[in-house]
Amino acid sequence: MTSAAHAEPSPRQSLGRRLSTFFYRHPWVGVAALLAVPLGWLVGGYFGSLFVLLLASLWDTDPFTSEVVHNYTFDNFRRIFEEDVYREVAWRTIRMAALVTIADAVLAFPIAYYLARIASPRTRNLLVVAVLMPLWVSYLVKAFAWRTILSDSGVVNWALDPFGLSFDGYSSVGLWLVFTYLWLPFMILPLYAGLERIPHSLFEASADLGARSLRTFLRVTFPLAFPALVAGSIFTFSLTLGDYIAPDLITSQQFIGTVIYDQRGTNLPVAAAFTLVPIGVMVMYLLVARRLKAFEAL
């Protein structure tokens, strides 16, 4: 044992040495110092702002100046639950989020499958870059580009015109296309990771037992990739649910995001109350996703 020698206090210890001794003797201080910043961020920055949001949803505004008045009232919630328009907007948005998620899943699965199981390492690298490339461009630029593409004099209608067809791009269908495009990489990446993780031996075993490709896909590949699919859907669903820029640029319909955006300035409490709707939807979605083991696939 050399501890006796160490316990001998040396006359001149450097500050760093003394600090390190202090942390060694009091391990909990070290842990506390380590956790203080991330915990502070989580509690103060994250839960704090959620709490303020909840509080703000109970405030009132001055009917003339639109200033926030700190009177507590449930009026904002009553408005959101009683007036049809808020319910319609919420359903419209949830429906859009679901349809975008389905479209992205259908598009992403073959791409991710090809990436993970078929492509040569070289092609795979190139394709991963190609999938990630759109993320290097500002989201706003992409949405504006789609606005031009879907315009009456845009490339879509230009291509349809010779066949005597036309497409109303500034509609929910147009917006669905835009969202599907925008969030596709967020579905491909988790799916690709999930498919790649499936051990090759399982496919061999399936083949040895006489299963053909369809059966292997249905009984082995898909069930094992499903949590990754749900993980990807968390992104596509939540990103659609909260977005306000694309709906504003592409359609004249209101969505949860645009309603909140329009009210944030002079009707803050109603905006705050309405914000709790997508938060509630997402909490439920995440609970279901956890059941489906999506978090293990992230």
Partner 1 sequence: MSKARWRRLRFAGLAVYVVVALLGATACGSDDDNEGSAGGGTTTGEAAASTEIPGLGSTIDEIKQKAKEEGQVSLVQWAGYAQLTKEFAKETGCKVSTKDGATSDDMISLIGTGQYDGVSASGNASVRLMERGDVAPVNTDLIPNYADVQEGIKNKDYNSKDGQPYGVPHGRGPNVLAWRTDVVKPAPDSWGVIWDPNTPYKGKISIYDDSIFIADAALYLKATKPDLGIDSPYQLNDEQFNASIDLLKGLAPNVGEWWGDYAKQIQSYANKDVVIGTTWPYQVNTLKADKKPVEGVKPKEGTTGWSDTWMIYSKAKHPNCMYLWMNHMISPAAQAAVAESFGEAPVNLKACALTKNKNHCNQFHASDESWWKDIYYWTTPTADCGGKGGTCKTQKDWVNAWTEIRG
List residues near partner 1 by CB under 8 A: 27-29, 31-32, 35-36, 39-40, 43-44, 48, 52, 61-68, 79, 83, 85-86, 88, 147-148, 151-154, 168, 170, 248-249, 252-254, 259, 262-267, 270
Burial of residue 298 (CB within 10 Å: 0-12, 13-18, 19+) is middle
Least separation in angstroms between CB 149 and partner 1 = 11
Which token pair is 66? Answer: 């639109």
Instruction: CB nearer to partner 1: give 27 or 162.
Output: 27
Pick the closer one to partner 1 by CB: 32 or 135.
Answer: 32
| Gap between the Cα atoms of 208 and 76, Å rounded | 63
Give dist(CA 114, CA 273) in Å, integer.
Answer: 44
> Measured from the CB of residue 211, what is the shortest distance to partner 1 in angstroms?
47
Q: What is the 3-state secondary structure (H, E, C) of 8-71?
A: CCCCCCCHHHHHHHHHHHCHHHHHHHHHHHHHHHHHHHHHHHHHHHHHHCCCEECCCCCCEECC
Shortest distance (Å) from residue 61 CB to partner 1: 6
Q: How far is the CB of 1 from partner 1 (least distance, A)?
A: 20
Q: Between 240 and 251, name the residue whose CB sits nearer to partner 1.
A: 251
Residue 68 CB, nearest approach to partner 1 (Å): 8
Residue closer to partner 1 by CB (options 216, 266) is: 266
CB of 93 to partner 1, least distance (A): 13
Inter-axis angle of helices 172-196 and 139-150, to 10 degrees? 130
Distance CA(206)–CA(183), nearest Å, equals 33
Nearer to partner 1 (CB atom), residue 32 or residue 129: 32
- Residue 138: its H or E element: none
Nearest residue (CB) to partner 1, 238 versus 263: 263
| Token pair recorded at residue 209 | 């037992």
Contact 61, 69 (CB under 8 A): yes
Minimum CB–partner distance for residue 163 and partner 1 (Å): 20
For residue 275, the minimal CB distance to partner 1 (Å) is: 15
Nearer to partner 1, 151 or 216 (CB): 151
Under 8 Å CB-to-CB from 256, ≥6 apart: which residues?
Answer: 89, 90, 93, 241, 242, 274, 277, 278
d(CA 38, CA 223): 36
Give whichever of 238 and 267 is closer to partner 1, judged by the CB atom.
Answer: 267
